Amino acid sequence: MGEPLTVALAMAAHLPPRLFPPPLDDRLRAVASIQLDRVLTSFDSALADVDVLITGWGCPMIDEAVLADAPGLRAVIHAAGSVKAHVGPAVFDRGIVVSSAATANARPVAEYTLAMILLANKEILSMAQRYRAERRPIHAIDEYPAVGNLGRTVGIIGASLVGRHVLRLLAPFDLHPLLADPYLTAADAAELGAELVELPELFRRSDVVSVHAPALPETRGMIDATLLAMLPDGATLINTARGSLIDEGALMAHLRTGRISAILDVTEPEPPAADSPLWDLPNVLLTPHAAGAVGTELARLGATAVDELTRFAAGEPLAFPVDPARLAVMA
């Protein structure tokens, strides 16, 4: 394999021990000359001899000025999802290869989504709140005759990495998945185990709608008052993508009626303003952008980065390269 690569970490200072716990740190040191206790939160001449940057959440932007001080930089390996916030066009222009652990981060988001879909179809949120408030037996069979996960329809918006993983996780259940994605054909959707439909039909037919589209200028506010009005009474909207995709004012109007429910891991702003009704509405479950990798799941991102670095050191193709031509439509 030759001399170890000179590798630097660029991310929030608290992340490396969580991304690279033993024995991952040993694997990293085996292929790299690296100081795991030295983390770059800003760039300076320390990049002069660096071959590879392993980046994470909190990495500063890598632009022309940074690259001018990094003549030997050949790869950026991101131990997280989207690279848009820190990889500038100059990186790709210089031929530096970029990798992302977005596939690894998609898994916990999809697992969160599956859990919420199954709970939403059983109306567990409202049932649990009633149980706590009334402190009496709740006869679920008699009082909730329409709930359950048999034969319900789930609408997935976006065949992203997360959206596709959600569809795989839904496969063993007796649910009917719908999929809306402008880049797919009906045959593509069928291969994913879903029925391809347009957004209005998805909203009209779904008991649960889960959002997995990228945040782009053209997707801002795409889930608007017209679509929300099409949701059946009792439906649930789940958002683990970005808050900007939903017209929050329109959503609030429907939530205030109690006609639908929402499970929101992301909002705009994030967190919601302290006086936002989202905090207090009984038909809203707010979680603190926790669907992605947290806790022990961070090591999966670190393992992906170490695997990529090992491939790069051996002169092998990366498993998860970022295609600059697709950046514009990626999350």
Catalytic residues: 242, 270, 289
For 230, residues 6+ apart whose C-beta sits below 8 A from its C-beta are 200, 203, 204
Nearest Cα residue to 101 out of 26, 209, 11, 171:
11
**What separation in angstroms does the CA of 308 have from each of 40, 98, 111, 176, 212?**
20, 10, 24, 37, 26
**What separation in angstroms does the CA of 331 have from each of 59, 77, 78, 231, 308?**
17, 17, 14, 25, 21
